[in-house]
Amino acid sequence: MTNLSLPELTQKLTAFFSQRDVVLFAYIFGSLAKGTGGPSSDLDVAVYLKEDLSADQRFDSRLKLMGEISSILHADNIDLIVLNDSPLALRYSVIYQGIILDEKNASARIHFEAKSMSLFFDRQYYDQRHIQLNLENIAKGGL
């Protein structure tokens, strides 16, 4: 990955994202954010892009941002996700474990986090119930 400490990494990324108008807010998450990353760990970054961008524009922005981050950090194992298009469980993980790097619109971030957490917890009951029913069916009759 990179030899930068977490504070150095967050400082560089915060400065980087503050200059990117397309990014409304950004997080670092994963093992490096938790302090458990090692030399072979990738850098997990999540961004929320302007809502008026099309899916193609979000994809292009993702590729461009990954390239630019790779260049400034001199690292090639960057995993950048676009929160606008991410599954609910991944959104929850980013919000729960992530470190906010930059936010140009605090109300947009708070709205995104509140909505994502609400949907995650609403769905969690049904996911757990589905798993429980499947386990009971397997216990009764096998696969």
How many DSSP H helices and E strands does the chain contain?
5, 4
Nearest to 25 by CA among 10, 7, 46: 46
What is the DSSP code string of 84-105?
Answer: GG--HHHHHHHHHH-EEEEES-
Q: Which amino acid is at 7?
A: P
pLDDT confidence tier of residue 39, bands split at 50, 70 and 90: confident
Contact 62, 80 (CB under 8 A): yes
Please, what is the end-to-end C-alpha distance for the chain in angstroms? 43
Tell me the pLDDT of the chain averaged across its residues: 90
Name the pTM for this structure: 0.83
Count of beta carbons in the 10 Å neighbourhood of residue 79:
12
Question: Is there a domain that residue 1 lies in?
Answer: no
Evaluate the CA torsion angle 78, 79, 84, 89 in order and state its sign: negative
Grouping H, G, I as helix, E, B as strand and the rest as coil, residue 41 is coil
pLDDT digits (tens, 9 = 90+) for 67-105: 999 999 998 889 999 999 999 999 999 999 999 999 999
What's the number of domains the chain is made of?
1
Supply the range of the domain harboring residue 71: 6-140
On whether residue 125 sits in a domain, the answer given is yes
Residue 1 has a pLDDT of 55
Tell me the C-alpha distance between 62 and 68, whole Å: 10
The domain that holds 136 is classified in CATH as: 3.30.460.10
- Rounded to an integer, what is the distance from CA 33 to the centroid of its chain? 11
Q: Which two three-digit tokens encode residue 26? A: 């950004």
> Is residue 134 situated within a structural domain?
yes
Whether the predicted pLDDT of 50 surpasses 80: yes
